[in-house]
């Protein structure tokens, strides 16, 4: 076996990088695999969307706590009180996470894990370039991107080019002028309608419950927020009035 490491972290998203900050701080021998913040790059996050979490729910756990985001915001002249909504854009979060990684000297190995086997004395790991390594401990930090929740449709419908999951909806232009059915009554479907509603579409929404479950847990009702909500409401004029009010 070429290489042995005490802790192998699989995945360089916020969770893996957060753990790496502690291991680095404690001087534990570790390796972290995967391209840093790849989920937050092209495939799932539009740069014009705001993150859902506020500053205080956004910073990754780390030995310095919230202070690390506070000082980053200050040095990048991002003023929490100056923003109507106290949150970041995904590209800002990615920039924050690269500074975070530099600060804790986290160097992701961009190779991916292809296969993991338990040997009884740790783990044998096959990487995607054909090389091998051994780890005494493994942390799986691969995120939820492989766990899209679809209705129980046949696979041929899910794979159809006319069907897309909200977490992959990045270009409203692809859906311009189309007649669209949005299935689901949660925050993602309300946001999808808001996003697609600017592209000259006819949109219907299918909801099982009495209204939209919009997570307002952490978001103050600023004027900007209200305007955004009104835009969402006006994006589906064909739904019953009580749903729109709700
Ligand atoms: C539209 C949208 C909006 C969101 N808004 C927010 C928000 O405002 N605030 C918030 O906190 N969260 C938000 N989230 C959720 C957020 O994306 C996740 O909670 C977060 O990314 C989870 O971090 P993670 O490190 O667990 O996983 P991920 O960020 O998914 O990272 C996992 C990493 O592991 C890598 N990986 C997978 N398999 C392998 C392998 N075999 N080898 C090596 N690497 C591998 C992946 O490429 C990926 O980079 C949002 C999600 C979506 C889709």
Q: What is the DSSP annotation of 160-204?
A: STT---GGG---GGGGTT-EEEEE--SHHHHHHHHHHTTSS-EEE
Q: What number does the ligand 1 atom closest to the CA of 57 have?
A: 11
Same domain, 34 and 131: yes
Asked, for residue 71, whether it belongs to a domain, the answer is yes
Model pLDDT, residue 95: 96
pLDDT of residue 38: 92
* pLDDT at 92 (0 to 100): 94
Pocket test for ligand 1, best of 13, 128, 133, 169 (most atoms within 8 A of CB): 13
Contact present, 76 and 55 (Cβ < 8 Å): no
Same domain membership, residue 162 and residue 131: no
For the chain, the straight-line distance linking the first and the last C-alpha, in angstroms and rounded, comes to 60
**Does the beta carbon of 110 lie inside 6 Å of ligand 1?**
no
In a domain, 95, yes or no: yes
Domain range for 168 is 155-245
Give pLDDT tens digits for 118-162.
998 999 999 999 999 999 999 999 998 777 888 888 888 888 989
Q: What is the CATH number of the domain that holds 85?
A: 3.50.50.60
Which of 113, 140, 167 is the last residue in one of the domains? 140
Residue 146 domain-assigned (yes or no): no
* Domain shared by 14 and 57, yes or no: yes
For position 188, which CATH number holds? 3.50.50
Find the mean pLDDT for residues 23-37: 97
Pocket residue to mutate for ligand 1, from 39, 141, 166, 193, most atoms within 8 A of Cβ: 39
- List C-alpha distances in Å: 102 to 2, 17, 21, 152, 165: 27, 11, 10, 44, 34
Assess whether 132 and 68 both reside in one domain: yes
In this prediction, residue 181 carries a pLDDT of 93
Same domain? 130 vs 160: no
The gap from C-alpha 120 to its chain's centroid, in whole angstroms, comes to: 34
**How many separate domains does the chain show?**
2
Structure-model confidence comparison of residues 47 and 62, the more confident one: 62
* pLDDT higher than threshold 50 for residue 217: no
């Amino acid at each position: 076996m070429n290489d042995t490491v005490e802790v192998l972290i699989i995945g360089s998203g916020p969770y893996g990088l957060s753990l790496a900050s502690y291991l680095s701080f404690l001087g534990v021998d570790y390796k972290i695999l995967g391209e840093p913040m790849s989920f937050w790059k092209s495939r799932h996050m539009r740069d014009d969307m705001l993150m859902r979490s506020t500053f205080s729910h956004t910073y990754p756990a780390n030995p310095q706590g919230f202070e690390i985001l506070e000082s980053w915001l200050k040095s990048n002249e991002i003023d929490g009180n100056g923003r109507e909504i106290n949150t970041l854009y995904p590209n800002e979060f990615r920039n924050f996470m690269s500074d975070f990684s530099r600060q804790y000297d986290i160097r992701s190995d961009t190779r991916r894990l292809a296969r993991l086997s338990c040997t009884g004395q740790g783990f044998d790991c096959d990487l995607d370039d054909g090389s091998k390594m051994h780890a005494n401990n493994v942390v799986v930090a691969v995120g939820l991107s492989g766990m899209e929740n679809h209705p129980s449709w046949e696979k041929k419908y899910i794979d159809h080019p006319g069907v897309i999951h909200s977490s992959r909806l990045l270009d409203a232009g692809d859906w311009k002028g189309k007649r669209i059915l949005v299935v689901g009554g949660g925050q993602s479907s309300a946001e999808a309608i808001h996003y697609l509603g600017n592209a000259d579409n006819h949109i219907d929404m299918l909801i099982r419950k009495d209204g939209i479950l919009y997570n307002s847990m952490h978001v103050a009702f600023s004027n900007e927020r209200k305007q955004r909500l009104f835009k969402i409401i006006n994006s589906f004029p064909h739904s019953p009035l009580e749903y729109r009010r709700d």
